[in-house]
Structure 1
């Protein structure tokens, strides 16, 4: 199954008041696992970026001044081609969907329907009720490396979210669940071959003759005499049942 994890950075929190997208990043997943295919663009928002927002993502007016606008073909056309008709995965998905739809609406393009989006924030809150559910908190909880994240960034956050999403959906062991029957059978054969190879290695390394007893005859006789001194039917006899050295 193909899915797209995506994230946006913006000039603010409300597209209906004129806030715009300044960065968008996407990561392609097949059966929950990143394929390595990504889409990433910085975008000129055609308005100022407030200083308090710059402190969040670091994208200044000067940096964005020579970037393409959303309506440029290298942004909107390539973005729509990349995402295709795949489900879209985002953290607090409604936020990103509203901004994306506002940009598409300005171009009279078809908006993204809500039912097409998968919200990892809702999944996390259901799986870990009452626990912090920010992307940072989930990465720490799931032991996902955050060392590269000193500020928000659309592509990096999409890559981190892809790792979080995989774990929220059951981890890497879920991959076999999504394989087609032929691929699943091949995986089982490889597993079985691995077991047989291990057995073969073990059989080649087996001793040609088993080791003899580690105790001497004198030590065995002394042990048997000691057990006999413990009285009638000592519990130790149960461990010598059937032995030629069993007392009594």
Structure 2
């Protein structure tokens, strides 16, 4: 399964008011593992950036003066995300801007949410943690993810952080390996294990009670709803 964690920075808040995308950052997940495949691009919006927006991301009009326009990078960007599941925090904001840019570039261009499935991690977080702060910084704190380098917003940095948050929200540990530090000691313990005595009685099997099974199913249902149908245990059951 190929997923793209995506973030954008913009000149302001509303594309309907002529605001534009000025930075796109994407990182790729394949089967829940980060790859080295990334997409990052600064974009010349051909307009001024709102002062409030500059305070958020620190990107200035002068910095973007020699960067390509959206129409110059559109095909590469669309090809990168094509067919992937897009993971976005507050997806309507980013998707709205992307669709606005695509429409300006090509009026017949298909909206991105018709060619890619969208997963909104803000919606997920609100379902999982109702009544709590669910911005990216709050989620980093909740899931003990280091975001100390995030003094300002940046599309690629935020996409990298969001990828870690998403993996933590939807399953915790995603890589298990005996390679690296301590692996020799672990192998030594495995090799030194003694076989069980031939006359040892069989282990007692304790089966889950009906109450425990119902509680288990309720928990899987909650995970399935919070992850928009991505509960792996449910898929194994089917």
Band the TM-score falls in, shorter-chain normalisation: 0.7 to 0.9
Q: Is the CA contact 1:32–1:165 (under 8 Å) kept in the aligned structure 2?
A: no
Deviations 1:102-143 (A, max 9, x none): 000011222112672100001111111111100000001111
Alpha-carbon distance in 1 for matches of 2:78, 2:84: 10
Alpha-carbon distance in 2 for matches of 1:102, 1:135: 24
Larger C-alpha radius of gyration, 1 or 2?
A: 1
TM-aligned CA distance change 1:200 to 1:9, over 3 Å = same
The residue that corresponds to 2:212 in the other structure is: none
Mapping of residues 1-248 of structure 1, within 5 Å: 1-72=1-72, 75-108=73-106, 109-113=109-113, 116-173=117-174, 198-203=189-194
**How does the TM-score come out when normalised to structure 1?**
0.70
Alpha-carbon distance in 2 for matches of 1:199, 1:35: 31
The residue that corresponds to 1:221 in the other structure is: none
Q: Is the CA contact 1:25–1:154 (under 8 Å) kept in the aligned structure 2?
A: yes
RMSD of the alignment, in Å?
2.2
Alpha-carbon distance in 2 for matches of 1:150, 1:52: 15
Structure 1 segments of 4 or more deviating over 3 A?
Answer: 194-197
Deviations 1:44-63 (A, max 9, x none): 00100122211110110100
TM-aligned CA distance change 1:199 to 1:25, over 3 Å = closer
Structure 1: gaps (5+ residues)? 177-186, 188-193, 204-248
Q: Is the CA contact 1:11–1:53 (under 8 Å) kept in the aligned structure 2?
A: yes
Deviation at 1:199, TM superposition (A): 3.8
TM-aligned CA distance change 1:133 to 1:202, over 3 Å = same
Alpha-carbon distance in 1 for matches of 2:3, 2:33: 9
**How does the TM-score come out when normalised to structure 2?**
0.73
Count matched residues. 185
